[in-house]
Every structure is written in C-alpha cells, then in structure tokens.
Amino acid sequence: MRAPAKKAPRLSVEALFDSPARVRASISPDGTRIAYLAPWRDRLNVWVQSLDCGDEPRCVTADGNRSVLTYHWSGDPRWLLYEQDRDGDEHFHIYRVDLADPDAEAVDLTPFPGVMALGFQPIPARPGKAFLHLNHRSPAEFDLYELDIATGELTVLAQNPGQPAGWMCAPDGSLYAQSLTADGDIEVARWDAQTQKTAPVATFDGTDYPLSIHPFELTADGTGVWLGSNRDSDRTRLVRLDLESGAETEVDSHPAFDLDTRCAVFPTLPSPLIRNEHTGALLGARYLGERQVIHALDPHFAEVLRHLEQLSDGDLGAVSCDASGQRWVAAFVHDRDPGVTYFYDHATGESRLLHRAYPHLDPGALAPMTTVTIPARDGLRLPAYLTLPVGVESTGLPLVLLVHGGPWLRDSWGFNPAVQLLANRGYAVLQVNFRGSTGYGKAFLKAGIGELSGAMHDDLVDAVDWAVAEGYADRERAAIFGASYGGYAALVGVTFTPDVFAAAIDVCGPSNLVTYLATLPEFARPGLLNNWYLYAGDPSDPDQQADLLARSPISRVDRIRTPLMVAQGANDIRVVKAESDQIVDALRARGVEVEYMVKDNEGHGFLNPDNTIDLFRAADRFLARHLGGRPHTQ
C-alpha cells in the first residue's frame, strides 16, 4: 500500500468540535431573506440576512444557555419560530420571534412546565396557523392543537383517546390518527370528533417498522398520505395511501436502496421527501445507499436538481425554496467539505456560494471516507465505512471501531468530526452497519431480532477481524467507541469480549437493559412493542427479564479489565444517569479505575460546544494513553 506524499497538519479538538460558522440556512417564503444558525455567545442562534441588499446579518434569537437547532419560517414575514428545551430535558417548547421588533423578547407559545411540543407544522392552507402535538393533558398522550402564531391561541383539535401515536388534519378539517393496535400493528384511521371514535383506513405490520412509518406526510390536497412502505417488499419505497379507500399506490422506488429515513431518529436531518414547504407540493425523494440518490418527482424540480447537483461533488443536504419555486438555498453533505451552502436562482441561472460551515478547515487536510463491505461469520454482508489517516501508511494502524446508536439507525457517508479527529491522530476508523441497522432492507433489519450482545455484537468483532486481516489494523490496539446503543455496544465489548479491545468509550449507553427499559419516559413506552420488546425482550415476562439481564453489561461487570471511559448527561431522559452510575460504581467498588465525565446541563448526548470539546479532549487523551497515540495537547 502506498502512503500519500503529504502528512496532514495536526488539528485541535476545538477546530473540529466548536460551533460551525454558519449552518442550516433556509430561504424565506418571499425569497428575499435567508435564516441560518451561527454562534452568539458561544451558542448557535438564529440569524437573518437579506439575500439581495447586502445588509449586515442580524441575530434574532438570544439563547446564551443552549444552542438552537431547529427553526421555522412562518407565512407572515413578521414571525419566525424556533424550538428549544432546557438543558437537554427534551421538553421542547415553541418560541416566536418578532422580526419587525429587534428589541422584543422571544415569546414562549407553549408555556407549560414539563410539556413537550412535537411535530410543529405550518399550514399552507391556513395562513398564520400551525399544527403541533402537546402532552399537556397527560405525559404519555399527545393531543393535536392548532396554534394561531400571531396571537398564541391554542385550540384542541383532537384529544388522544389513549393509543394514537400521531395526528393529521386535512385542509377540509378531516382528522386522521396513526395508532398502535394491542398487537402492535400500525393502524391509520379516520377520526370522528363527534363520536370520539375511529374508522380504520389501513393497517401495517408493526414488526416491519420498529420506529413506526417514515415518512408519513399528508398530501397537499389532504386526500392521501405519502409514506415509506415495505409491504410485500424488502425495500422501503414511496407509496400514496388513499385516505378514502385505503388503497396503496406506488409513487416511486429505487431498485437497491431504501428511502432515507434517518430523520426518524434525528429530526434535524432532511426528510426523505423533498417538498415545497409553502405549497406542500411533492418534488423529490431521497434514497440512501453508499451515497445518496435523489429521484425528481416534479418536472420543474428535475431541472432545478440538475443545476444544484453541479454546484458540489457532495450529496444534496437540506434544501429550501421560496413559494414560487424559483429561488433556492441548498447545503451539501461531504466527507471533507461539510455544509457548503449555495444560493441558486432558477429564473436567472445565477448561483453563488453563501458560506462554508467550517471555513477554517482545509478539505485537503481531512481524511476521505470510503465504503467497504465486510463479510460476517454467517455470510451476511455488512456495509461499512473506513477512514484512514492522511499521509500515513495504512498498515498496522491502531483502530477505533465507532458504533452508531439506535440500534435502528445507520452510518452514512459525510463529515463526522469524531471520525476526522481520530483519523487525524493516526487511527484507522471503522463504522460498520451491523445487522439490525436501518436502510438496508427489511431482512437485514430483522436479522437483529434477539441478537443484542449476540450476532449484532459478533458483527462488530468480525469487522475488527476484517480490518486486521486486510492489514489496516493492529489487533493489539483496537478500541470501541459509541453513544447510546453504541455506548451499550462499547460496554458489551469490554464485558462479553474483553480480549478484543484495548480501550472503550461509552457515552450515555445502557448498562442494564432491565432498568433502562423501566426508566424510559412515558411518551416512549407505546412504541416499545415493535422495537426493544421485539428485538431484546419484555421485562414484564420473567423469562425475558432474565434474558435481558443476561445480555446486560452489568451482569458481567466482573470481567472488565479493559480501560474504560464513560460520559453522561445528567438530564438524559432516555438513558438516565443511573445507567452510567451503576457500571461506574460497580467498577470503583472493585478498585478498578474508570474515567467518568458528567455534564449537568446536557441530556442524551452532548450539544453545547464547550461540553463536546471537553468530551473529545478527554477521549483524545484516553485513546492516546491506551492505543499508543499522541493527542494534540498533552
């Protein structure tokens, strides 16, 4: 293997993990302004700038405590909305900003303590209104509300009778519920507000959809739903469900790829459906294999897409247009040049670079991410991504196995600051989509059933063996690093296979599957039947509870001899702090040293850049000690 001629400069943790300069830009409905996220007092906030007159950008939110990640234009040029929780508790509220009054404070439109606002959606057919779901009446049940953005008035449209997981309201006022049956099937039903009863329209096998159906979006005319269906197919394709007849008609599909449904886990990622947000028109569909493929479903968008894709060799990320569909703002996903964002005017053909998310990073100094396929011991083919250091001979390297969360998620091509940090330090970085990952068909997904700490973990070990056999990795210097399910996988690595890894980092990973499931928030419980209970076990059954405990790292804590680092957000409502406490306490009771980082103002994973920088500085030093590397600062 030939080493590149030039070694990459050493990058600081801050350079990779501090806030981006500008990110997540979108265009206003009238096409005259853009909004985007940029730092204010070391936190991402929303800024607004004119596209044409060259005025200075203006910061329109003022949250110095926690970065803002999600915002929405409204149909009225006066109002902009954003979502925010408190220190990671996931109790998101909707705030309104008055763009006409720079001195006015943001108004909390959902000012209810402990309440979560979900599914905020402006209504093109009803200007000035938006739908949202609130669990104000009951923590476990979300009711459908209509919000008057200007006045803040909230009107209940439908009260959850106990089972619906989501609501839709058609332009004519017809209401539909998506709910779980007692057997876990997903039912779409018409809701009669007078009788408070449902009339079924269609039913889907819930075991095919561990995170429910995605996408699931009302058509612009309200007579149907665009959804991702794998009925009678291994692949998730785009269909239209007729809300009158229940008939399912295929709209589009890819012969090898699933629709890209990662936004089911990370709502800040784009929907697989590209739509004109102001008219509701369906423009295109995203599919994801090794890289993204977009199918244009609208002739005008097909022309626009052809021009947009000429602007970058990356994958088209978040894209928005004005109400006319002529003026566009498009960001691109790239492994080494992330968040490059362009303005494009289809009427004139003009395009110009608006910003780069990380202008201080030289793409040439970053490591390319390449796709590989790894054979599992039972013959299953595992899609994976391998990133090798720049300017270093790619043989016998220390290896970091970076495990994704979920487990119903997937790794994908693009910029990942953790990957770049590790590659910059001289590690080979391997991300494997083990069985049970989404995006590779129904059979691959269901191959994970019953395989936590079993074949799912075998896949990870097989990936390490592959990297060693291919000559990339040094078997004695392999580490496992992950968050959420990836944190659980790291703990399984040091308890079930303690001879494989020389170091492990667990970020907010469950250590005891029984206590983990017992402490999940109430709103998450209805869906457990098709994910955790199906894939791992139901703790209400004594035999299954015993099996859950046997698959839990806490049951084998006495086998840990691998150096371990643990990180946790104190406000995590999904994997509560006690999950990390119990593994750390058990080790310390044995006199085993474990590095433990807790951040009091974080939830499930770290968001604020100062905390993220602290985490990866510590990880940098930890891995250097145990894999023989050298961090940026000693």
Tell me which residues are annotated as active site: 484, 572, 604
Of 474, 550, 459, the C-alpha closest to 513 is: 550
Residue 347 tokens, joined:
């009427």
DSSP per residue, 530-546: GTHHHHT--TTSHHHHH
Interaxial angle between packed helices 485-496 and 455-469, expressed in degrees from 0 to 180 and rounded to the nearest 10 = 80
Residues 94, 83 contacting (CB under 8 angstroms): yes
* Torsion from C-alpha of 544, 545, 550, 553, nearest 10 degrees: 130
**Residue 593 DSSP label:** -
**429 is written with which tokens?**
């970085």
Q: Are 473 and 464 in contact (CB under 8 A)?
A: yes
SS3 445: helix
**C-beta neighbour count of 547 within 10 angstroms:** 19
Prior bond to 215 cis, omega within 30?
Answer: yes
Residue recorded with tokens 């667990």 = 506
514/528 Cα distance (integer angstroms): 13
- Do 579 and 512 touch, CB atoms closer than 8 A? yes
Q: In this structure, what token pair is assigned to residue 133? A: 């779901």
E strands in 170-211? 175-180, 186-192, 197-204
Peptide bond before residue 9 is cis, with ω within 30 degrees of 0: no
Contact in structure between 505 and 531 (CB atoms under 8 Å): no
Is residue 40 within 8 Å of residue 58, measured between CB atoms?
A: no
The CA-atom distances, in angstroms, between 324 and each of 307, 346, 378 are: 17, 10, 53
Say how far apart CA 35 and CA 77 lie, in whole Å. 12
What is the rounded distance in angstroms from the CA atom of residue 148 to the CA atom of residue 138?
A: 22
CA dist., res. 149 & res. 165, Å (int)? 24
| DSSP string for residues in 297-308 | -SHHHHHHHHHH
Contact (CB, 8 A) for 472 and 399: yes
Beta bridge partner(s), residue 94: 83
Token pair listed for 553: 């790292």
Residue type, 75: G
For 178, what's the count of Cα atoms within 13 Å in the CB-facing half-sphere?
Answer: 22
What is the distance, to the nearest Å, from the Cα of residue 236 to the centroid of all Cα atoms in its chain? Answer: 18
C-alpha 76/C-alpha 30 separation (Å) is: 10
Q: Judge whether 308 and 332 are in contact, CB under 8 Å.
A: no
